[in-house]
Amino acid sequence: MAKQSCCHKKKLRRGLWSPEEDEKLMNHIAKYGHGCWSSVPKLAGLERCGKSCRLRWINYLRPDLKRGTFSQEEEDLIIHLHSLLGNKWSQIAAQLPGRTDNEVKNFWNSYIKKRLRERGIDPTTHQPLADPAATGAAAACRAVFGDVADLIPPAAPLADPPMPPPPLDGVKLPLDWPLVAGGAAPLPSLSRSSCYGFDMDALQQHCVPVPAAPVVASASSSSTLTSMAAEAEHHCNAAGAGGLPWLELGPNAVAEAAGHVDSYAGALDELRWSEYFDGAFQAAASQQGALQQQAGQCVYKDDVAVHFDVHGLSNWC
DNA sequence: AATCTATCCAACCGCTTTTAA
DNA sequence: GTTAAAAGCGGTTGGATAGAT
């Protein structure tokens, strides 16, 4: 006989949350924080299990959620991180400020997977599909899409030993680290709160604000390349100063600055790699010098540092 | 207008890991 | 060191909705 969930055992409410329930939960957390989730439903006057409350808060009610459609750079970063981490949705979501693992997972399953298949790329392996027809499509699209899995050469030995992981596992950098001009971004708009009338000041005391993701114009013109190069340079600088503001450092942290630089590359759906790397991006990237060795070319996968050569990318064109 | 189909996404389920007693 | 509870995570399901027929 199948094991019943905690909600079944206690005959608690299940299914979609009503606005009244949301309000109760929001107001409770605004006043007291969530504390122990198992006690939240009782204290908040909800007929839900603590697990359900936690999920509702994390995936929907948290005021620092970004919501809305994923940007091109977010999409590229997800693809890149998935090629490195697989279905580690929480780790992937941790690199996307304001996004939840559930949201990233849904986006992957409903959109990215399909798109990769259309391009002849196996979404699981990030390699061209076995189907000959699809393989041709993959080859055709690679020049403009850039299969992110290929950013990592297979077991390519490095001239220099990899940098050891920083001894900072679990340590978060200040959230107001200057990622973009103007410093920490404001909290996203909170339209829901106006409907429910929460005490948002109190609520935000229990929430960690996240800076906005770097804004990149769509890469459809040469002028945007210049701004992208500037952005890439800025990110390299931020990484060189100790990391990006929303990255958690340590052996399990991934994609550091390299991921961001690559995300820009991935956004260049309709551009040639040669134009990109021989142009503005390379000019900016070349200024980083040794920095790339540390941040721009190293990500961690299964606690192992993975390095790759950014300059080698231009050879794929 | 009615029905069918596909898609999206919130929520659930069950397992694993972490924490506290 | 052991155990139970809590928290976290990834896979899956089911309802709502949009678009097609």
Q: Give the best-scoring range by mean pLDDT among A204-213, A234-243, A283-292.
A: A204-213
Of A37, A41, A44, the closest CA to residue A14 belongs to A41
Q: Any atom of strand C under 7 A from CB of A51? A: yes
SS3 letters across A132-165 = HHHHHHHHHHHHHHCCHHHHCCCCCCCCCCCCCC
Q: Any atom of strand C under 7 A from CB of A296? A: no
pLDDT digits (tens, 9 = 90+) for A191-238: 333 334 444 455 555 444 444 333 333 333 333 333 333 333 344 333
Instruction: Give chain A's mean pLDDT.
Output: 56
Q: Any atom of strand C under 7 A from CB of A315? A: no
Q: Any atom of strand C under 7 A from CB of A124? A: no
SS3 A17: coil
Q: What is the mean pLDDT of residues A19-33?
A: 88
- Nucleotides of strand B lying closer than 7 angstroms to a protein CB: 7-15
For residue A245, the model assigns a pLDDT of: 33
Interatomic distance A36 CA / C3 C1' (Å):
20
Cα R_g (chain A), whole angstroms: 22
Query: Rounded to two decimals, what is the model's pTM?
Result: 0.56
Of all nucleotides in the shown strands, which has a C1' nearest the CA of A4?
B13
- Hey, what are A51's tokens? 């697990």
- Hey, what are A59's tokens? 């995936």
For residue A13, the model assigns a pLDDT of: 83
CA atoms within 13 A on the CB side of A23: 9
Give me the percent of chain A exceeding a pLDDT of 70: 37
